[in-house]
Chains A and B, each alone.
Chain A
Amino acid sequence: MLTRFISDQNLPDFMQKLRKFGGIEGPLRGEDGGVRFGNLSDGTTPDIHAIRTLLPAKKYLFAPEERLFNYTLQEGYKILLEDISPVTLFALHPCELAGINYLDRLLGGDAPDPHYAARRSQITLIGISCLPDEFCSCHISPSPLQALSDIFMNIVEGGFVVTVYSSRGKEIMEDMKDLAEERELPVPQDARRFFGVSLPLNVMSEIDTGLPEWQKLADRCLGCGACSLCCPTCACFNILEFAGLDGVSSERIRYWDNCLFKSHSMVAGGAVFNKGRAERFIYRYRHKQRGFGPLRGVPSCVGCGRCRAFCPIGLDLRVLTELLERSAV
């Protein structure tokens, strides 16, 4: 495969030139030590070695809150599509890319969600290789390995081996000729260079959720919803409508919802189909492994490790694996 090489010294210039193609967003370490995706358009240097951002890049494609329609007497419901300017998402890990690929299947496709499609069409993806830590479980999911991006940068000694995967990526790299020399370089097989603590392949998919160990783990869940909020492939939404002050017009808004909340399955009259916190915890993990509806059978955990890393009480399915291993002995 034809590759290019960008040296560490040339990275700032590369970023500078990238600005020509629109805004740039990438991982930034805040004063609190947390890493978040933020604006790099002013030349801020991204933290390309950061392991995980608090929120995944899904916020750029599937907005936390979005106006969908407005209603007026004259025109009825009319779709609201903001003018969205082009943006490059920079330094996305393979799991992050896999998450976006999954959202593309969920909200894109033949009859795409128009608001998602509008954002997505303006987005360029630049991936980067990474060094998984003990929270990551990308090695049990094939999706990060197959993840699609426009451009992918493998971190090597002294710089980056750059591969191009789309016409948009090609267009960008054409422009970088002076910064990125063409070189025949070996592309590392696996963008994830290190596999963290290994989990057995069947960790979530084949575990019988009726096991008392599962129940014990699930019983500890607080139902705070952090694990779903920070998951790159959790995309449940709720929709509400708000009347305008004129008493005639209105706006319909969609916002992120969360299956860890009791309200998620509540219907009028108060019936709830996923009653207990433990039930909802198990439901989430099962969904991540098995999928539902048109994506039944498609696992959506991309192994980013956020749910484990950010759970306030450190709920981690690996505890379960250990328990099971111990009980098997």
Chain B
Amino acid sequence: MNNIQPLRGEISIITRMTADTTLFTLSTKPEYEVASSFLPGQFLELSLPGVGEIPVSYCGFPSNNGTIELCIRHIGHVTNAIKSSAKGDYVGLRGPFGRGFPIDTYGGMDMLLVAGGLGIAPIRSLLLNLLFVRKRYGRIRVVYAARASRLLLFLDELLDFKKNGIIELLLAVDSLAVGEKKNPDCRIALLPALFEEMKIEPEKTFTAVCGPSVVYPRIITSLQNLGVSDDRIHISLERRMKCGIGRCGHCAIGEYLCCLDGPVFSVAELSGVEGGIA
């Protein structure tokens, strides 16, 4: 694994998803194919020459042709600059880094995946991994909320999975746009409301959560109210990650370093850790 030196990746497909979000398919061949084998929940450090380096979650499924997918929201210095990248452009890659979702422990279990906003990126990666060997798992439910309908990412794909009966899908948006028709598959509510009438079998359920940190306390409370124990609530935390390899000190959470010990933690591991769950 390459820790220090960014190696070459090449942008091969650019898919505009919303006004501020783009899906990049990158080829890691021939220089850095290692970057294409990863666990869902792990991340890479992505460099844009002349601009900077940022941590980004893997959003797809490990491919055997060396391609990876990254879903990027354009909100700052590096993420805005990459918006004008073109097919064939060079990017630097380091990784995979961090501890992903412990999928080995999910075998035979019901899975409840929870995503808010851009949190769908690593959750989609996890979902694709689960669906790859669908029969290993019990029920798979995906709970996904965004601010507005046009911001729901990978919607067609998720609706397809639902239609094929391989997942159950609960969607919500904060509000409808002016003149927008209500979609029967999608509620107008905040994320925690989606758990209100839910029935689960807590002793055979694992949950995986990724979303903005501000909603974590409420999501966790909802899941606890459903009877899920803290060691079965796996959440992915975002921190400022400059190095990804436990050296720069920016991603510390109590005595953890998020880049090495996370970004995926169980709520049990974070209990009593100051600065863990906001």
With A240-B52, A250-B49: A292-B255 Cβ-Cβ less than 8 Å: yes
Residue of A nearest to B248 (CB): A237
Please give the distance in Å from A99's CB to the nearest CB on chain B.
15
B233 within 8 A of A: no
Interface locus among A37-45, A71-79, A145-153, A321-329: A71-79
- Interface centre among A237, A238, A257, A273, by most chain B C-beta atoms within 10 angstroms, is A273
Residue of A nearest to B92 (CB): A77
- 1/0 per residue, CB under 8 A from A, across B36-56: the answer is 000000000001011111100
B209 within 8 A of A: no
- 1/0 per residue, CB under 8 A from A, across B250-272: the answer is 10111111001100000000000
- Interface centre among A266, A271, A279, A292, by most chain B C-beta atoms within 10 angstroms, is A292
Of B8, B51, B92, B250, the contact of A264 (CB 8 Å cutoff)? B250
With A76-B6, A266-B240: A294-B246 Cβ-Cβ less than 8 Å: yes
Residue contact B75 to A267, C-beta cutoff 8 Å: no
- Interface centre among A79, A113, A241, A283, by most chain B C-beta atoms within 10 angstroms, is A241
Residue contact A287 to B49, C-beta cutoff 8 Å: no
A265 within 8 A of B: yes
Residue of A nearest to B253 (CB): A273
A274 within 8 A of B: yes
Residue contact A239 to B53, C-beta cutoff 8 Å: yes
B139 within 8 A of A: no
Residue of B nearest to A107 (CB): B247
A296 within 8 A of B: yes
A293 within 8 A of B: yes
Residue contact B248 to A273, C-beta cutoff 8 Å: no
A274: chain B residues at CB < 8 Å are 275
A269 within 8 A of B: yes
Docked pose: A107 CA to B249 CA in angstroms: 12
A185 within 8 A of B: no
With A287-B252, A296-B255: A77-B6 Cβ-Cβ less than 8 Å: yes
Which parts of A279-294 form the interface with B (CB within 8 Å)? 279, 283, 287, 290-294
B213 within 8 A of A: yes
Residue contact B75 to A290, C-beta cutoff 8 Å: no
A244 within 8 A of B: yes
B5: chain A residues at CB < 8 Å are 69, 77, 79
A156 within 8 A of B: no
Docked pose: A152 CA to B167 CA in angstroms: 68
B252: chain A residues at CB < 8 Å are 259, 283, 287, 292-293
Please give the distance in Å from B210's CB to the nearest CB on chain A.
14
Which parts of A181-203 form the interface with B (CB within 8 Å)? none
A238: chain B residues at CB < 8 Å are 242, 248, 250
Residue contact A267 to B239, C-beta cutoff 8 Å: yes
A269: chain B residues at CB < 8 Å are 75-76
Of A236, A252, A268, A296, the contact of B248 (CB 8 Å cutoff)? A236
B215 within 8 A of A: no
A240: chain B residues at CB < 8 Å are 52
Of A241, A244, A291, A293, the contact of B53 (CB 8 Å cutoff)? A241
B256: chain A residues at CB < 8 Å are 292-293, 296
Please give the distance in Å from B194's CB to the nearest CB on chain A.
23
Of B51, B90, B238, the contact of A241 (CB 8 Å cutoff)? B51
Docked pose: A79 CA to B2 CA in angstroms: 13
Residue contact A239 to B50, C-beta cutoff 8 Å: no
Which parts of A34-73 form the interface with B (CB within 8 Å)? 69, 71, 73
B103 within 8 A of A: no
B53: chain A residues at CB < 8 Å are 239, 241, 252
Residue contact A291 to B50, C-beta cutoff 8 Å: no
B90: chain A residues at CB < 8 Å are 73, 76
B255: chain A residues at CB < 8 Å are 290-293, 296-297
B213: chain A residues at CB < 8 Å are 271
Residue contact B246 to A264, C-beta cutoff 8 Å: no
Docked pose: A225 CA to B175 CA in angstroms: 44
Sample of 5 A–B contacts (CB below 8 Å)? A76-B7, A77-B7, A241-B50, A267-B238, A293-B257
A235-B249, A241-B47 given; 9 more Cβ-contact pairs under 8 Å:
A69-B6, A71-B49, A73-B90, A76-B7, A238-B250, A257-B250, A265-B240, A269-B76, A283-B252
Q: Which residues of A contact B (CB under 8 A)?
A: 69, 71, 73, 76-77, 79, 106-107, 111, 113-114, 235-244, 247-250, 252, 257, 259, 264-269, 271, 273-274, 279, 283, 287, 290-294, 296-297
